[in-house]
Structure 1
Amino acid sequence: MMLFNLNLPLYIHIFLLGFILIDHPAVALPNFGVTAVREQFSKAFASWSLPFPSSSTSIEKRAQTLSGVNYNPNGTAFLWLPDVEYSGKTFFDTWDFFEGDDPTHGTVHFVNRSFAEDNGLISFNEQDGTVVMKADDFTTLPMGVNRSSVRISSQQLYTTGLFILDLRRAPWGCAIWPAFWTLGVGPTWPQNGEIDILEGVHDNEHNQIAFHTNPGCMYDPNATFTGTIPGDPSEANRTNCDASARQNSGCDVVEWSQASYGPFFEQQGGGVLAMKWDENDISVWSFFRAAVPTDITAGTPNPSTWGLPSARLMNTMCDIPNFFANHTIVFDITFCGDWAGNSYATTNCPGTCLERLMDPANFVNATWSINSLKVYRKELLSGNPQPSSSSYDYDRRVAFRVILPLVAALIFTFY
């Protein structure tokens, strides 16, 4: 019954006193007046700081509070820290527009930024905040004439990093061949390697990941990943990433999930593609919208918690620093060409690939809609931080600083 007849000022004083005593056990009990409690209250809060990172906090201190601590195979700890974000109205300001014909022989003409802006091939969607790149879906063309489209490459070059692409939708459809990839800048291809992160043709439902290198790089047969290496298992060069070994195919992996490419990916609200590249391996994951890990959403990515990747190229049979360097990030949408053109007859698509290109209505789905592309850099940590202990310390401090004073106040009030 005493609970309903509490003397609220006394209750508050006791609560605060319990709070103070937990952090300041030297506080004298006789100082129990309103003024004394108010003074001690201010002192207590002046020194009360839960372990959340601030801009001035060192990387080592942050490692104790963030959930994104990662570990190399040798046990050294590191964080993936934000490096560059591409999003919003300024997205295209740090990209170069490739202008001209397609090196992979697509029936396409890649246009410059001015043409793309004037004709609506690139834009920023004010309603949903997405960046849009699309093919010409409004011009009727004669047979064999190239359709206008966009290919862009980042001005900044990368050697290693964690690349996280959040997509609302990706291009798909008969005759359409989109790709999100990274390309090593060098005198000859593929001297510094190529990594195809998202790629497909026609109405495919499975993303195809690939690595292209100079001779000497292969998949490790002991590497674990969820994708499937296509082709006959007896094929000698099936796991060889040498671009010249399999007619420029490199070593490719087909994802198992139908939500990784095409119409089903779009129906799920898109999703996230992630590529981790360091000295140990290059791994690719894809997540449809409902399966995106919370650490990605929170901006503290920890690939070690994501499960097996869709594809993984290990340094055990491929000297990654030797085969991959100085990559630009590329988005493009092409048509027909070496892959989509040569495979067109094997699909259920109507007519021929060149006939398909004539009608602009066939390209309403040839659109990239991008929420963001974030690049993280690897930052090594000194010492050997243990992330699990930080969460324990946080919970313990909350208990001692909030819950126990409250319990003490209730006990003193009742008795």
Structure 2
Amino acid sequence: MVPHPPVPVPVPQGNTTSTTQAEYNIVDRWAGQGFFDGWDFFSNPDPTNGMVNYVTRSEATSANLAYVDGDGVAVMKVDSTKNLAQGQYRNSVRISSQKQYDGGLFILDAASIPWGWAVWGAFWTVGRDWPDHGEIDIVEGVNLASQNQMTVHSAPGCTIDTESTTPEGFKVNFRTSSITSTSCGSSPSNNGGCGFVDTNDLSFGQALNDAGGAVYAMLWTADGIKIWTFPRSDVPADITNQNPSPSTWDARYLKAAWPSSTCATKQFFQQHAITFDITLCGDWAGGVYEGGPGGSCANQVMRGSNFVDAQWRVNSVTVYQ
């Protein structure tokens, strides 16, 4: 994804809690009926050229596009009720945390993620000044993708370390992930970034949703950035107990890593807001739509029933430091 305009200066949130005597302590947590407190709803044109109208919080609430259901699950979705004329944009939701971060352990417990032809959903963090302050894409995919793509975007100079000198703890098993590109430097004209694709077909899309979703964890420290994906059937007990210990997690689930030896986190990543969004078509989903139904991505956007699965269902987002 590419970033939104500058977000507000951080302010304390009412749902912030803390713990003690733990490897990582909770600094912010969003779950249940208060989930949408502390987020800004983005309502400007989509910077990735998607065929969506991002709506305000009041518009999202009245149209039932953002709400917390009876089970305490936060839902963000694309309108799936209206049929549109060709070329019209469909209403959708994009939110960013009012608070910004310079590191931490970010854990998303997702019951389901957006999926379907023309759909492009992402969960990511991004700095105020893109790409100089960086971007970390934790969950992202388009159309019928079944494998999660994890990407960072930065100013020139950040790369993925694929050499034997990669620090212990930052070695990704390339049987479970593949590299998209090793050069992370991005610009408006070349914004591919560098990243990893999870080779597990349960890491994104319909199969993941059918399995009850997954838990994604991104650790950002002075040593580098790591991303894990845990299937619903094998979430570590320390995450469930809100006392996470990344050093003990099964290395099979480490899906992406950028050590500071070749991508200095303090230099390339600063003041990040957490972001959810769902766009349609746009630079990526539209660019690889060939072979999809309707003959074109724009045609797919016209029928509302095509987007019943284009939604985030989130149990919680927790930030530890």
TM-score, normalization by structure 1: 0.69
**Counting helix residues as a fraction of each chain, which structure ranks higher?**
1
CA contact (8 A) 2:157 2:185 kept: yes
Say if 2:141 is the partner of 1:197: no
1:307: Cα distance to partner? 2.8
Residue from 300, 314, 318 that aligns with 2:263: 318
Match of 1:117 in 2: 61
Match of 1:92 in 2: 36
What stretches of structure 2 of length at least 5 have no aligned partner?
A: 1-18
Matched residues in 2 for 1:277 and 1:213: separation? 14
**Which letter maps to 2:161?**
D
1:2-401 equivalence runs, <5 A: 62=21, 79-126=23-70, 128-186=71-129, 189-222=130-163, 223=166, 224-226=171-173, 227-230=177-180, 238-244=181-187, 247-308=190-251, 309-345=254-290, 347-377=291-321
**Which letter maps to 1:334?**
T
1:100: Cα distance to partner? 2.4
- SS of the counterpart of 2:178? coil
**Which letter maps to 1:104?**
T
**Which letter maps to 1:108?**
V
- How many aligned positions are there? 292
What stretches of structure 1 of length at least 5 have no aligned partner?
A: 1-56, 64-78, 231-237, 378-415
**Which letter maps to 2:47?**
P
Matched residues in 2 for 1:307 and 1:279: separation? 22
Q: 1:154 to 1:289 in 2, by over 3 A?
A: same
Matched residues in 1 for 2:239 and 2:103: separation? 18
**Which letter maps to 1:228?**
S
Matched residues in 1 for 2:294 and 2:233: separation? 34
Match of 1:53 in 2: none
- SS of the counterpart of 1:290? helix
Q: 1:353 to 1:179 in 2, by over 3 A?
A: same
- SS of the counterpart of 1:310? strand
Radius of gyration: which is bigger?
Answer: 1
Matched residues in 2 for 1:278 and 1:293: separation? 21
Q: Identity of paired residues, percent?
A: 44
Deviations 1:7-38 (A, max 9, x none): xxxxxxxxxxxxxxxxxxxxxxxxxxxxxxxx
**Which letter maps to 2:185?**
D
**Counting strand residues as a fraction of each chain, which structure ranks higher?**
2
1:89: Cα distance to partner? 1.2
Matched residues in 2 for 1:251 and 1:138: separation? 37
- SS of the counterpart of 2:83? coil
Matched residues in 2 for 1:168 and 1:249: separation? 28
The 10-residue stretch of structure 1 (299-308 or 363-372) with the greater mean CA deviation from structure 2: 299-308
RMSD of aligned Cα (Å): 1.5
CA contact (8 A) 2:131 2:187 kept: no
1:318: Cα distance to partner? 1.2
- SS of the counterpart of 1:260? coil
The 10-residue stretch of structure 1 (240-249 or 309-318) with the greater mean CA deviation from structure 2: 240-249
Matched residues in 1 for 2:118 and 2:215: separation? 24
1:349: Cα distance to partner? 3.9
Matched residues in 1 for 2:113 and 2:263: separation? 31
CA contact (8 A) 2:134 2:270 kept: yes
CA contact (8 A) 2:43 2:54 kept: yes
